[in-house]
A and B are shown apart, each in its own frame.
Chain A
Amino acid sequence: MNAVDLHRRLERHSGLLIFGILFVSAIGGLVQVLPSVLDDRLATPGPDVKPYGPVELTGRDIYIRESCGTCHSQQVRPLLAEVRRYGAFSRADEFAFDRPFLWGSKRTGPDLHRIGGRYSDVWHRLHLLDPRAVVPDSIMPAYPWLGERAADAEGDIQAKMRALRLLGHPYTDADIEAAPAALEGLTEVDALVAYLQGLGTSTGGDTR
């Protein structure tokens, strides 16, 4: 039976055709994606990479809510110009607690992976609430509502930490117990700034 005859059978039998499509389209995923998902080296945090505390986690979820990742990447590529501009290139072990990953695909604004510690808290706060107050040519949106809303307005921080513990993030009962208190009195902008200030501060053991 030649290939054309084989195909004639395939195209006359809907069940075979469905199976054929599923089989052929699954191969790539099974060979390329599945081994990566099972590769522990890609999921092991570096020695100084810690799970996000309640304030940083809240800030990160605000970053996701406002889709900051649409315009800002978090991925410094190992290229000379990129390392000059942003700092050390990004390593897989720094993202083991990132659900979802926020590497992004577009830099309308600059990369943020090494933004932690680059600017003062006051600068960030001003910049987030009114970007053009500190960067006159900026086309970033202003986020005035972040300054008005309490960081724990949703009251779901403990549920979030419990969900993440289910996925293997090492939070203790005491961590979860203490979480609401850590957010008390903070606004959303405080939480977001705390997240940004912690971004990319892992050195991977390199202290130069």
Chain B
Amino acid sequence: MPAGERYHDRVAGWLTGFAVLWSLLGMTAGVYIAAELVWPTIDFGQEWLSYGRLRNLHTNAVIFGFGVSALMATAFYSVQRTCHVPLFAPGLAWFVALAWQATLLAGGASLLAGWTGGKEYAELEWPIDIAIAVVWVCFAVVFFGTIARRRIQAIYVSNWFYGALIIVIAMLHIVNSLAIPVTWSKSYSLFAGAQDAIVQWWYGHNAVGFLLTGGFLGMLYYFLPKHADRPIWSYRLSIVAFWAFTYSYIWAGPHHLHYNAVPEWVQSLGMIMSLVLLAPSWATMVNGVMTVAGAWEKLRTDVALKFIVLSLAFYGLATFEGPMMSIKSVNVVSHFTDWTVGHVHSGALGWNALITFGTFYFLVPRLVGAELHSTRLANWHFWLALAGVMLYVLAMWGAGVSQGLLWLSLDEIGELSFSFKDIMASMAPYYALRLVAGVVFLSGAVLMAINLWMTVKGRVIVRVAPPAVAESAA
């Protein structure tokens, strides 16, 4: 090991800061559109405040702004420590961190201007898509370059998940974004109609799979053992779950197209593989829970660990609910309703946001070599987050199941029981409750932002050297 060698943690620190800012922006946009469904005139006739445009900003800011910035931060932090080597090409790592923010800022502005390709979770138009692909390839170079230079023989399991995130998202993004450009703000998809639908949900479901699930499992496999101060419960289970996950997730997309105009075999295969997916999902959850088992007493004192354990519970809930909703006879009721929205948020708030919050409460004090500013504030955040996500999910279950059943309801002579308009109007209490839930969850995130800012204010990031162990200790 060259003398004076240090980990490059400043880039991870800045990415953490960007992730916190994106979470506030994305969740504020979410709260605003939830309010628009209660008071539809609060867009004040402004195009950029209109529901359709803000909704795209909401999803892109939370998934690609908050989610990906947090994944980049934790990937850069953990890959150095699991490989005992500083980042490969640190200049390129800074480029990745900053270019990603610039791309998403431009992307966010373009969404408000009405630039959109019209595919869900892939709204950004072709110039932004190309920028994303370039930054992503650089991300891959830094990450795999670091792994290639590692001083530990075995590649640790968190890196497989981060690796799968990088590789599979690149494949999905490039194929699904294929389009013929017309102007800077407009392009037409290379695929049309039913084929476009199949490609889009192969992308869409696996953006959930490899970004919101796989990427965050990478975070789990590094930070949970660190938190709990115990090794992963079963290494062999983590191997089996990883490959089963990587193999089966990719097939599940067509459950978004049940009873739509795509071939029956595509739908049925999508449903079966979605059910199969329950096995690797729960195997990972069991592995996580068993890792914490025996360290339960830490939950009383370690607020960061509380967030992570709660996120595991929501991970288990969402990965059970998903396969159930992919069963065609359940999907008949749930499809097109707010149930889907509730499912997404039990994953996005309950799993992704909570594990990220827990990780940040652990990571940020270590980055600057200080104690967290206020444990009390973090405890408040924990309970606000739990209350927010529970209220949100309950409101959307109520709304979604009602919509699904009432839309399908026929009277004794086979006529529709209710008009669409009446069913829609009956949603008002659920939508109001959802708004409250969003405000509660967001206010917790604001407390976190203040807490983390007070922790880092006036401090610099500690320069940590790789451990001086013998080469290839394994």
State the A residues within 8 Å of B (CB): 4, 7-8, 11-12, 14, 17-18, 21-22, 24-29, 31-33, 36-37, 39, 42-43, 61, 64-71, 73, 75, 77-82, 84-85, 90-92, 94-111, 131-132, 135, 137-145, 154, 156, 159-160, 163-164, 166-167
Contacts and interface: CB of A to CB of B under 8 A. Distances in A.
Contacts of B338: 106
B168 A143 contact: no
Contacts of A71: 51-52
A17 B167 CA distance: 11
Interface in B106-125: 114-120, 123
Contact of A68 (B52, B155, B199, B337): B52
A61 B188 CA distance: 10
A167 B190 contact: yes
Contact of B261 (A8, A25, A92, A141): A92
B266 interface: yes
Interface of B: 36-38, 40-41, 43, 45, 47, 50-53, 55-56, 114-120, 123, 144, 147-148, 150, 153-155, 160, 163-164, 167-168, 171, 180-183, 186-200, 202, 210, 236, 239, 243, 246-251, 253-254, 256-257, 259-263, 266, 269-270, 273, 332, 335-338, 340-341, 403, 407-410, 414-416, 420-421, 424-425, 431
Contacts of A17: 155, 160, 163
Contacts of B41: 142
A81 B410 CA distance: 7
A135, A138, A139: most-surrounded residue (chain B CB, <10 A)? A139
A77 B114 CA distance: 29
A99 B336 contact: no
Contact of A137 (B250, B269, B425): B425
Contacts of B52: 66-68, 70-71, 141
A146 to B, nearest CB: 10
Given A11-B155, A164-B188, A25 B250 contact: yes
B180 A25 contact: no
A91 B193 contact: no
Contacts of B194: 36, 42-43, 92, 95, 101
A171 B199 CA distance: 26
Contact of A91 (B120, B148, B261): B261
B43 A141 contact: yes
B259 A141 contact: no
A156 B306 CA distance: 55
Contacts of A21: 160, 163-164, 167-168, 246
Contacts of B260: 75, 77, 90, 103
Contacts of B246: 21, 24-25
B197 A101 contact: yes
Contacts, number: 257
Interface of chain B: mostly helix, strand, loop or mixed: helix
Given A67-B55, A67-B118, A95 B182 contact: no
B23 to A, nearest CB: 22
Nearest to B156: A11
B250 A28 contact: yes
B250 A84 contact: no
24 contacts: A4-B239, A17-B155, A18-B167, A28-B251, A28-B273, A29-B171, A36-B198, A61-B186, A71-B51, A75-B260, A75-B261, A77-B259, A98-B196, A99-B196, A103-B197, A106-B336, A107-B407, A135-B421, A138-B424, A140-B40, A141-B52, A144-B45, A160-B182, A163-B187
A36 B262 contact: yes
B403 to A, nearest CB: 8
A205 B452 CA distance: 65
Given A81-B416, A90-B260, A98-B192, A67 B56 contact: yes
B96 to A, nearest CB: 18
A42 B195 contact: yes
Contact of B192 (A8, A43, A70, A73): A43
A71 to B, nearest CB: 7
Contacts of B191: 37, 99-100
Contact of A107 (B167, B253, B336, B409): B336
Q: Which 9 A-B pairs have the closest CB atoms?
A: A95-B193, A67-B52, A28-B250, A77-B259, A28-B251, A64-B118, A92-B194, A65-B114, A92-B261
Given A81-B407, A81-B408, A105-B256, A100 B263 contact: no
Contacts of B45: 142, 144-145
A18 B410 CA distance: 53
Contacts of B273: 28
Contacts of B37: 108, 139
B250 A100 contact: no
Contacts of A159: 182-183
Contact of B114 (A37, A66, A137): A66
A101 B196 contact: yes
Contacts of A141: 36, 40, 43, 50-52
B421 to A, nearest CB: 6
Contact of A101 (B50, B51, B192): B192
A95 B403 CA distance: 27
B53 A66 contact: yes
Contacts of A24: 243, 246-247
Contact of A98 (B193, B198, B257): B193
